[in-house]
Chains A and B, each alone.
Chain A
Amino acid sequence: MRHLLDTRTLDRETALRILDVAEDMSDTQSREVKKLPTLRGKTVVNLFFEDSTRTRISFEAAAKRLSADVINFAAKGSSVSKGESLKDTAQTLQAMGADAVVIRHPASGAPQTLATSGWISAGVVNAGDGTHEHPTQALLDAFTIRKRRFGADSRGRDLSGVRVVIVGDVLHSRVARSNVWLLSTLGADVTLVSPPTLVPQNVSLWPAKVVYDLDQALAEGPDAVMMLRIQLERMNAAYFPTEREYSRRWGLDARRVASLPDGSIVMHPGPMNRGLEISSEAADSPRSTVLEQVTNGVSIRMAVLYLLLAGERDDERGGDQ
């Protein structure tokens, strides 16, 4: 794997390989000594143009457990007018000898620009770009669904027949986009539930069904319900009238969570707005995978960094299981 920029172009084989390597990584994390020597001497830069402590420390933990050197670079501003340009930052990292750059950026497509511009030779991992994609989040979500469903028997399996409902602000969600592509590539049926104002104007080419009524979607008895974080400033842009109305129509309250069939799981990428898109009853119930997602995130990011940096490229597969 040269870069991980999106799940839109991630094929099933590569996706399963990342999930399976993450299983191996997960196994090592239950040992007393969690650290592996695999990436000793490699330098991973966490280049964050946006504050995201959770994602950054997850990548940092992943890189450190593989013995890579980690540099955290919190960059302010992104355009020519607001400070150093992406190009100059990239060339600086190149000059310092970065082997991989994990980038979080408020502008959609910035990781792709970084990877294709010729400014840098490092592998690029998209840790969330604008309202585009967040591929490691989708991978850890798929991993979590698979693990809950198949347990120790997860390796090699896809998500055929699994029904996933994703609820919330799809328009601005990179988590939703990455999950739509990845989950459908893995064979899952995806339903998006959103206020009509918060779904892109034309999703006719997405491999997902769109409904506006959460109760209707839940009545179908989905295997997983993924709640997206709602940004309160959306209210001011007339996407929905009030917090209360949003919560009533699209929030996973106690009544709704109780209506789910046995075995259905409740997911949230965090951080949660308790009482808005998700009730505490839902977040703290045994169905909730919120903390498993965090744990699995480290395994997924270890797998991604390993596949990016451990010498294996697309043309030299295999032999490391």
Chain B
Amino acid sequence: MSETLVITGAQLLGAESADIIVENGVIAEIGSGLSRSGARVIDAAGLVALPGLVDLHTHLREPGYEASETILTGTRAAAAGGFTAVFAMPNTSPVADTAGVVEQELALGEAAGYATVQPIGAVTVGQKGERLAELGAMATSRAQVRVFSDDGFCVFDPLIMRRALEYVKSFDGVIAQHAQDPRLTEGAQMNEGTVSAELGLAGWPAVAEESIIARDVLLAEHVGSRLHVCHLSTAGSVDIIRWAKKRGISVTAEVTPHHLLLTDELVRGYDARYKVNPPLRREEDVLAVREGLADGTIDIVATDHAPHPSEHKACEWQAAANGMVGLESALRVVHQSMVATGLIGWDDVARVMSAAPARIGRLAGHGTPLQVGAPAHLALYDASVAGVFTEADLHGRSRNSPYLGRDLPGRVEYTVHGGVLTVNEGSLVEELRA
């Protein structure tokens, strides 16, 4: 059994101060002046208490790409960022398109212990977009998969997309679409606009994302299914989701921290750390996705944590891999782009980074409010400090963070996963006391 924790003086969702007792993996008591003999006391005065963060979009790279990340290293990165659950995208090798692979990922996550690993299954066999994978088998496996995605690839064939949306209704699943028209983005290297025109990099037009989202919300409406839109990145995409929600379509949407903060101006130095799919967009798009997140059009923030070994980034832009690591920096970037700007409060952060992603992914026992009886997944965050983001902040296997050398506010001081401290006084716990 996990140890007993007495957390004193934490600000619940940044509001009133309270003591929290964690016992046997659950929140046993919330109040003032609490104590337990023999318990570890955590002085959380001034720290924001958040429910453990849940990431609906993580690449853990295992099995198959262990040079980039493993389930152990990836969940260590997650814990360092205040996450207690991550949804693992299926673009592994082999692809997570069978019950066997998703069960293996689940087991590796349980063994690691740093965060709950919830596998996402591929929509189509091998993510090739041709035949449906055995979605039902993955759903009824021990991994109880509810989210299906061919992330990295778009389910481009409209008929396959329609069938997938329909099929997963029988087990309350959701299709998480990577919206990217492959024909309009052949050879694409960066957002198509003034900067790509100057740099001579093949353009990645906003319409390639927006046209797929528009098609998919109409398909979801037609068949009465649930659709989740991964990492939307353009002002136009926000408008389409807003329209779809007003119409009553069952669609949810996510934005990444980097699309809330960074723009395509950063590509000017051809530094491949800024190469990502979908690409960094214009300032207008950044402002639009912030507004969309603030007004609820966009439901969640998800990291799209995408580790790559250094040789895939220390090269010409065109030869470099797409993707950025993001688990360790996500909360701090949301703090800077959304909270410090006054667009949302800490209660909203708990919604978009914990409650809503757990709900969309149907992950029981996560994203629950900080209340007595809830599983003890929580993060204690010091919002009063700031500092330069360095490699020392990274805990995964890869270093491809766009934030290295950049000032970011805040610091995750403690993370508790199922009653087990995974981050203690700002440092990752090496030997978990589970």
Contact = CB atoms under 8 A, between A and B. Distances in A.
Interface of A: 8, 78-80, 85-87, 105-110, 112-113, 116-117, 129-133, 174, 177, 200-206
Interface stretch (B41-49, B165-173, B314-322, B370-378): B314-322
A195 to B, nearest CB: 16
Nearest to B319: A79
B199 A206 contact: no
B316 A80 contact: no
Interface stretch (B190-198, B327-335, B426-434): B190-198
B248 interface: no
Given A80-B319, A87-B315, A117-B314, A201 B270 contact: no
Nearest to B316: A107
Contacts of B315: 78-80, 85-87, 113
A201 B193 contact: yes
B205 interface: yes
Contacts of A202: 192-194, 196-197
B361 interface: no
Contacts of A79: 315-316, 318-319
Nearest to A205: B194
Interface in B164-205: 189, 192-194, 196-203, 205
Contacts of A107: 316-319
B269 interface: yes
A168 to B, nearest CB: 15
Nearest to A106: B318
A203 B198 CA distance: 8
B157 interface: no
B312 interface: yes
Interface in B265-288: 269-270
A113 B203 CA distance: 20
A83 to B, nearest CB: 11
B258 to A, nearest CB: 20
Contact of B316 (A110, A131, A205): A110
A210 B30 CA distance: 67
Given A107-B316, A108-B318, A85 B269 contact: no
Nearest to A133: B200
A204 B198 CA distance: 10
Contacts, number: 89
Given A107-B319, A202-B192, A174 B200 contact: yes
Interface string B30-47: 000000000000000000
B16 interface: no
Closest 8 CB pairs of A and B: A109-B270, A132-B200, A200-B197, A79-B319, A131-B200, A107-B318, A107-B316, A108-B200
A109 B316 contact: yes
Contacts of B189: 108
B423 to A, nearest CB: 33
Contact of A205 (B198, B201, B317): B198
A319 B192 CA distance: 46
A86 B311 CA distance: 10
Given A79-B316, A113-B317, A117-B314, A201 B205 contact: yes
A106 to B, nearest CB: 8
B187 to A, nearest CB: 10
Contact of A116 (B193, B201, B269, B318): B269
Contact of B201 (A86, A109, A201): A109
B269 A80 contact: no
A70 to B, nearest CB: 24
A87 B317 contact: no
Contact of A105 (B201, B203, B311, B316): B316
A107 B189 CA distance: 11
A202 B205 CA distance: 11
Contacts of A130: 200-201, 318
Contact of B192 (A85, A129, A201): A201
Contact of B197 (A116, A133, A206): A206
Interface string B197-240: 11111110100000000000000000000000000000000000
Given A80-B312, A132-B199, A177-B200, A112 B269 contact: yes
Nearest to A105: B316
A200 B202 CA distance: 9
Nearest to B311: A80
Contacts of B197: 200-203, 205-206
Given A85-B314, A107-B319, 12 more contacts: A78-B315, A79-B315, A106-B318, A109-B318, A113-B270, A117-B314, A174-B200, A200-B203, A201-B196, A201-B197, A201-B203, A206-B197
A108 B194 contact: no
A130 B316 CA distance: 11
A78 B316 contact: yes
A304 to B, nearest CB: 20
Contacts of B203: 200-201
Nearest to B201: A108
Contacts of A129: 200
A238 B194 CA distance: 23
Nearest to A109: B270
Nearest to A170: B197
A195 B65 CA distance: 44
A108 B269 CA distance: 11
Contact of A86 (B198, B200, B205, B316): B316
B407 to A, nearest CB: 22
B151 to A, nearest CB: 22
A113 B200 contact: no
Residue in B193, B200, B315, B318 with the greatest tally of chain A CB atoms within 10 Å: B200
Contacts of A117: 314
A177 B194 CA distance: 13
B319 A108 contact: no
A108 B198 contact: no
A199 to B, nearest CB: 9
A234 to B, nearest CB: 13
Contacts of A8: 198
6 contacts: A80-B315, A86-B319, A87-B315, A202-B197, A204-B194, A205-B194
B344 to A, nearest CB: 32
B311 A108 contact: no
A8 B194 CA distance: 14
Contacts of A109: 199-201, 270, 316-318
Residue in B193, B196, B201, B270 with the greatest tally of chain A CB atoms within 10 Å: B270
Contacts of B269: 112, 116
B270 A200 contact: no
A112 B268 CA distance: 10
B205 A108 contact: no
Contacts of B200: 108-109, 129-133, 174, 177
A16 B314 CA distance: 35
